[in-house]
Every structure is written in structure tokens, then in C-alpha cells.
């Protein structure tokens, strides 16, 4: 699990990237029930720099931000799945409802979020702009979301063995 890092390990890798003059792209999210929409988003994010680090919200924050019954997949498993994707250089589980402290520690040149933040407040934006980083919003792949996937699963007919 060389790509699943602690915050201090991520900071060390960040320092190494900076020393080599490489651009760090950072994004964060819950990534509960990983799907092709996540992959598309992360591939686009990776294309914006030399390395992509992904913050994965811990279980308490996911429960607060996503509601009852979430997360479906525990944080460690979600982070391992994200870290295993070809386009992700490192995944970091973080506490808190926003990634502001992780952004302040890593100071990525590019911070990426989904295009849905064109109409929502992006709480991490001030932290990124304070040190001169760039915020990039990426259009999400239409028809692909964890909430939609959960709804489809719930709508499946129950098999006779479950009755």
C-alpha cells in the first residue's frame, strides 16, 4: 500500500515533488462506492499536473456530510481503492468536514473539485487562494453519482431467498 499515505508521509512526498519542480494536483472527496464517474473525474484531475494526491474523508465526516447509513464502505477501504487507480499517486485519509488543513499542509499548485461547485460554496477556496494556488472545477460525468447508484441498488427487486 505504498500509495496510501499518512499526512506526514504525504508532506514528505510533496516536498520531494517541489524539489524536482513538479506540479501537485490535489482533490478530495468521499469516494463511497467507487464508480466510473469517479474515475473520469480523477483522470481529468491527473492531467493537470505531474502528480495527483487525493484526500479521502474519514468515516465521521462522511456520516455527517452524506447522511444516515453512510459511508457504505469504510474509509480505509475507500482510500485503498482510490490509491490503486493508475491516475492517483497517493491517497490520504483525513479528519474533518473540509480538506482545508490538508491543503494548507500540502499547498498544491492545483486544487480540483467537481463542476457542481460552480453553484455551491467551496470551503477550501480561500485556503488555496491565500498561497497562490489555482482552483479548477471539472465537469462531472452525467448520470454517474454514488447517490444515483445507491438509489438503483435500493430499487432492485428482492430475490425470493431474501423474503
Q: Are 6 and 89 in contact (CB under 8 A)?
A: no
Rounded average pLDDT over 68-88: 94
- pLDDT above 70 for 111: yes
What distance in Å separates the CA atoms of residue 40 and residue 85, rounded to the nearest whole number? 11
Which residues lie closer than 8 Å to 148 by C-beta, 6 or more apart?
A: none
Bond from prior residue into 71 cis (ω within 30 degrees of 0): yes
Nine cell digits for residue 58: 474519514
Which three cell numbers mark 63? 456520516
The model's pLDDT over 130-150, given as tens digits with 9 standing for 90+, comes to 999 999 999 876 666 666 776
| pTM score of the predicted model | 0.88
Q: In this predicted structure, what is the pLDDT of residue 162?
A: 62
Q: What is the pLDDT averaged over residues 71-83?
A: 96
Going along the chain from its start, the domains and CATH numbers come out as: 4-162 (3.40.50.620)
The Cα 66–Cα 63 span in angstroms is 5
Amino acid at each position: 500500500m505504498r500509495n496510501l499515505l499518512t499526512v506526514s508521509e504525504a508532506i514528505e512526498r510533496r516536498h520531494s515533488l517541489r524539489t524536482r519542480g513538479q506540479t501537485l494536483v490535489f482533490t478530495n472527496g468521499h469516494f463511497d462506492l467507487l464508480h466510473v464517474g469517479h474515475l473520469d473525474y480523477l483522470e481529468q484531475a491527473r492531467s493537470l499536473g505531474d502528480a495527483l494526491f487525493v484526500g479521502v474523508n474519514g468515516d465521521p465526516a462522511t456520516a455527517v456530510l452524506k447522511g444516515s447509513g453512510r459511508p457504505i464502505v469504510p474509509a480505509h477501504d475507500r482510500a485503498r481503492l482510490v490509491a490503486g487507480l493508475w491516475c492517483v499517486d497517493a491517497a490520504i485519509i483525513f479528519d474533518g468536514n473540509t480538506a482545508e488543513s490538508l491543503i494548507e499542509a500540502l499547498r498544491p499548485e492545483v486544487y480540483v473539485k467537481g463542476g457542481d461547485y460552480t453553484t455551491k460554496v467551496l470551503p477550501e477556496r480561500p485556503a488555496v487562494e491565500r498561497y497562490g494556488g489555482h482552483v479548477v472545477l471539472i465537469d462531472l460525468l452525467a448520470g454517474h453519482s454514488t447517490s444515483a447508484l445507491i438509489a438503483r441498488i435500493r430499487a432492485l427487486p428482492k430475490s425470493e431467498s431474501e423474503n
